[in-house]
Structure 1
Amino acid sequence: MSTAAPASSVPASPGPPHRRRRRRARPLMSAVVTITALLCALVGGIGWYFAGVAIEVDHSAEYPLTIEDAGNGTVTLPREPGTERPGAWALVWKGGRALLGPVVGGNDEHVVRKVSPVEGALVKDAPAMIDHWMYDGDPKTALGLPFQDVTYPSEVGPMPAWLVPGTSDKGTWVIGVHGRNADKAETFRVMRTVHSLGMPMLSIAYRNDVGAPPSQDRRNHLGDKEWHDVVSAMGYARAHGATGVVLYGWSMGGAMAMTTLQRDPSFVRGVVLDSPVLDWSATLDKQGDARHLPAFMTGIAKRVLQWRIGIDLADFDMRRYAPHLRTPVLMFTTEDDATVANGPAFAFARKAPPGTVTHIPTPGDHTESWNVDPAAYERSLVAFLKRVG
């Protein structure tokens, strides 16, 4: 009988279970990679789309209201903040326009306002919108002001403009620069005031406007390219007798005016800003919040935008330029601006040398300072233009 101890048992190789786990791990890792790729594509796609919205050229009109009734010099509209506000407003529908008067009736659901038709007939159930530009057409048909259709040379071709003459071509001209995807009609509201002071006013179209030469890529560049058209307009004014200019910019037109001032200030006597974009990065953050985008996704969209049109958004933060400002600025901002971030404008006014920026906050939404109180707006504008003109 053998006395050797029995061989100790050796644990069975766990190889097959490991192989099974590896086989299970492969599809799991594949799923993780696929999901990650899909998420990256989704985030990148949303960033690409949001960036595209910011640089899209779009001149279409929207009519979110319905005319509920009209007659006897009144119009009935759905009651909402935009239809019941006091101030100066127009009502626009396809084929027509009217100036709205005071509220004279209504209930919780409807508002009745006096109305003065300007063009076309008010029709019940017609889609419509409230228009804070007020007028349409040209300076003669809209305001009864004499004007000339002129063109000024630019990098991309001859640009159309309206020239409302002053008492003399000599002296300081006002150059009106409308906002993104707007047109020259945005400048109508101040034309009478400028004309009453005897100052020539040149209201310009710029690249990608209706009736104007397009840029090569047919995209908005947030003022990075468009400001060159402002410089070209200044050259036209100088060639026709101007001894200086006041740049008057609405929204993105304000960004263009300030970029022009920053880079070519010698001929600029003053700047008027109405709801200006003074920091594109902050404004894009505001727009992202309005679309409920997470902050990181808005950040991706901004990086995509910078790559697509070759700009650095930091170059458009005018708070950095404010301490170096030497040219007088009149600036209007609105407390309920849903389009442009107002914080940079307030900071710009604080950082500028004392007395350089006259900042007038008003009620209203984007570029509506004139509409909520035309008389007060015009008093401030007259005082400023007399000082710098």
Structure 2
Amino acid sequence: MSSEAVSAPEPTVAPPPPRRRRRGRVLLIALLAVVVVLGLGTGGVGWYFSGVATEVSHEWEYPLTVLDVGDGTVTLPRDEATVRPGTWALAWKGGRALLGPVVKQDERSVVRNVAEVPQGTLTKGLAVHLDHWVYAGDPRRALGLEFRDVTYPTQVGAMPAWFLPGTTNRTTWVIAVHGRNADRAETFRAMPAVHRLGLPMLSIAYRNDVGAPRSPDHRNHLGDTEWRDVASAVAYARSQGATGVVLYGWSMGGAMVMTALRHSDDPGFVRGVVLDSPVMDWNATLDKQGAARNLPGFVTAAAKRILQWRTGIDLEDYDQRRYAPDLKTPTLLFTTDADATVDNAPSLAFAERAPRGMVTHVRAQGDHTEAWNVDPAAYERALHAFVTGLKP
């Protein structure tokens, strides 16, 4: 009898139970959904905060309420600013008061002298803000200084400026550049000292300021396009007989001044630079502001990437520390140890990396751009010594 080889049937692998397959798909879909939601959420928050950084806004907030008004005094809620010594003003809608020293304080309130109420009526219950610009209006009304309204040509149109003539035959002009979303009133605090030095002064508006031409997108570019208005102001000063300039920038104005200097075809025309609480690295300052808003680092990083895409700015180009070793222009640098707006570390590093003797660094105890407020006399002494030491 013949026999045939019989092959054993191949073992079969049972498919996973349907429930397990469904559970795997559900987990995968859920994971993808979380990734998408996190990505969209991060991108959305990043887009929002990049918009905050580039927003053009000239609105004032009034976070304090006047608790009482006495005979030559005002009582305010106590905080780090209201107890700070120095020269300040209270501002409210339609009014302003110049403040004197603290005369009394407790855990909740502080009483300060009122030196003058040049506008409006100071009353209990007013919503106010503590104004470190101190003055308002124009140079004549605010300080009794003669000036002319002028315009200087820029890429986006005729730009307004205040021109204060000098009191000597010196032909080096001071060009004053205010900070982000500020206005020319920020430069008032320097005007009396510059006037006593005898130098002409040009306090400029730039694109997107109130009363100034707008940029095509009406966005703040953190100085990346605005610096060109500083360069235009320098060209205007030269056309009007200036034989040199001192560039004087507050906050973002400092970033603009340094960028204009780096791009200048004739850097020797800039006799000196004064920087007051300058932005010397946008990356560091945006990180600081993100942390102050309790943003996770990856959200701030996303916001910075989106900001660069929206505006075309290269944030790395605004790390002035990179250029410090090549600095050839004498620089006076004011920083404040309690600056809650700008990261001071890049300014300190800039001063250290610059050639010896090229940067004069003055530290004060106030908040952002408040070095003058906390000690006007010391500030003006430093400014006077610096400017008089410059080449004519």
- Structure 2-normalised TM-score? 0.94
Secondary structure at the counterpart of residue 266 of structure 1: helix
- Identity score, percent: 64
Whether the 8 Å CA contact 1:169–1:240 is kept in 2: the answer is: no
Residue 205 (structure 1) shift? 0.2
Give the Cα–Cα distance (whole angstroms) in 2 for the partners of residues 366 and 20 of structure 1.
62
Give the Cα–Cα distance (whole angstroms) in 1 for the partners of residues 128 and 348 of structure 2.
34
Of the candidates 336, 339, 363, which is equivalent to residue 337 of structure 1? 339
User: CA-to-partner distance for each residue in 1:328-367, whole Å, 9 max, x for gaps?
Assistant: 0000000010000100001000100001000111111000
> Which residues of 2 match residues 78-157 of structure 1 at below 5 A?
78-115=77-114, 116-157=116-157
Give the Cα–Cα distance (whole angstroms) in 1 for the partners of residues 200 and 349 of structure 2.
32
Residue 267 (structure 1) shift? 1.7
The one-letter code of the counterpart of 2:339 is D
Residue 13 (structure 1) shift? 6.4
Give the Cα–Cα distance (whole angstroms) in 2 for the partners of residues 174 and 383 of structure 1.
15
Give the Cα–Cα distance (whole angstroms) in 2 for the partners of residues 362 and 95 of structure 1.
31
User: CA-to-partner distance for each residue in 1:4-32, whole Å, 9 max, x for gaps?
Assistant: xxxx99988633x5333223322332222
Secondary structure at the counterpart of residue 292 of structure 1: coil
Give the Cα–Cα distance (whole angstroms) in 1 for the partners of residues 340 and 121 of structure 2.
31
Secondary structure at the counterpart of residue 22 of structure 1: helix
Whether the 8 Å CA contact 1:151–1:159 is kept in 2: the answer is: yes
Secondary structure at the counterpart of residue 302 of structure 2: helix
Secondary structure at the counterpart of residue 350 of structure 2: helix
1:53 has 2:38 as partner: no
2:68 — aligned with what? 69
The verdict on how the C-alpha distance between 1:19 and 1:134 changes in structure 2, with shifts beyond 3 A counting, is: same
1:375 — aligned with what? 377
Whether the 8 Å CA contact 1:250–1:273 is kept in 2: the answer is: yes
2:279 — aligned with what? 277
1:387 — aligned with what? 389
Give the Cα–Cα distance (whole angstroms) in 1 for the partners of residues 97 and 144 of structure 2.
17
Residue 280 (structure 1) shift? 0.5
The verdict on how the C-alpha distance between 1:23 and 1:107 changes in structure 2, with shifts beyond 3 A counting, is: closer
User: CA-to-partner distance for each residue in 1:220-262, whole Å, 9 max, x for gaps?
Assistant: 1111100000011011111111000000000000000000111
1:3 — aligned with what? none
Give the Cα–Cα distance (whole angstroms) in 2 for the partners of residues 227 and 283 of structure 1.
18
More divergent stretch after superposition (110-119 vs 151-160): 110-119
> Which residues of 2 match residues 253-264 of structure 1 at below 5 A?
253-264=253-264
1:190 — aligned with what? 190
Give the Cα–Cα distance (whole angstroms) in 1 for the partners of residues 303 and 324 of structure 2.
27
Secondary structure at the counterpart of residue 130 of structure 2: strand
1:164 — aligned with what? 164
Whether the 8 Å CA contact 1:51–1:304 is kept in 2: the answer is: yes
RMSD (CA atoms): 1.6
User: CA-to-partner distance for each residue in 1:115-174, whole Å, 9 max, x for gaps?
Assistant: 021111002111001000000000000000000000000000010000011025761000
The one-letter code of the counterpart of 1:38 is V
Of the candidates 344, 348, 351, which is equivalent to residue 349 of structure 1? 351
Residue 93 (structure 1) shift? 1.0
The one-letter code of the counterpart of 1:73 is G
User: CA-to-partner distance for each residue in 1:70-129, whole Å, 9 max, x for gaps?
Assistant: 131111111111111110000111111001111122422111111021111002111001
The verdict on how the C-alpha distance between 1:143 and 1:13 changes in structure 2, with shifts beyond 3 A counting, is: same
Secondary structure at the counterpart of residue 321 of structure 1: helix
Give the Cα–Cα distance (whole angstroms) in 2 for the partners of residues 42 and 340 of structure 1.
27
The one-letter code of the counterpart of 1:176 is A
Give the Cα–Cα distance (whole angstroms) in 1 for the partners of residues 354 and 33 of structure 2.
52
Whether the 8 Å CA contact 1:169–1:200 is kept in 2: the answer is: no
Give the Cα–Cα distance (whole angstroms) in 2 for the partners of residues 354 and 237 of structure 1.
30
1:306 — aligned with what? 308
Give the Cα–Cα distance (whole angstroms) in 2 for the partners of residues 13 and 220 of structure 1.
65
Give the Cα–Cα distance (whole angstroms) in 1 for the partners of residues 24 and 94 of structure 2.
66
The one-letter code of the counterpart of 1:43 is T
1:19 — aligned with what? 18
Of the candidates 288, 307, 322, which is equivalent to residue 286 of structure 1? 288
The one-letter code of the counterpart of 1:56 is E
User: CA-to-partner distance for each residue in 1:158-209, whole Å, 9 max, x for gaps?
Assistant: 1000001102576100000000000000000010110111100000000000
Secondary structure at the counterpart of residue 96 of structure 2: strand
Structure 2: segments with no counterpart, 5+ residues? 1-7
Give the Cα–Cα distance (whole angstroms) in 1 for the partners of residues 351 and 195 of structure 2.
28
The one-letter code of the counterpart of 1:302 is K
Whether the 8 Å CA contact 2:170–2:199 is kept in 1: the answer is: no
Secondary structure at the counterpart of residue 160 of structure 2: strand
Whether the 8 Å CA contact 1:323–1:351 is kept in 2: the answer is: yes
Secondary structure at the counterpart of residue 255 of structure 1: helix
2:238 — aligned with what? 238
Structure 1: segments with no counterpart, 5+ residues? 1-7
Give the Cα–Cα distance (whole angstroms) in 2 for the partners of residues 36 and 282 of structure 1.
28
The count of corresponding residues between Structure 1 and Structure 2 is: 382
Give the Cα–Cα distance (whole angstroms) in 2 for the partners of residues 94 and 214 of structure 1.
26
Whether the 8 Å CA contact 1:169–1:242 is kept in 2: the answer is: no
Whether the 8 Å CA contact 1:92–1:98 is kept in 2: the answer is: yes
Give the Cα–Cα distance (whole angstroms) in 1 for the partners of residues 230 and 106 of structure 2.
48
The one-letter code of the counterpart of 2:373 is N
Whether the 8 Å CA contact 1:170–1:241 is kept in 2: the answer is: no
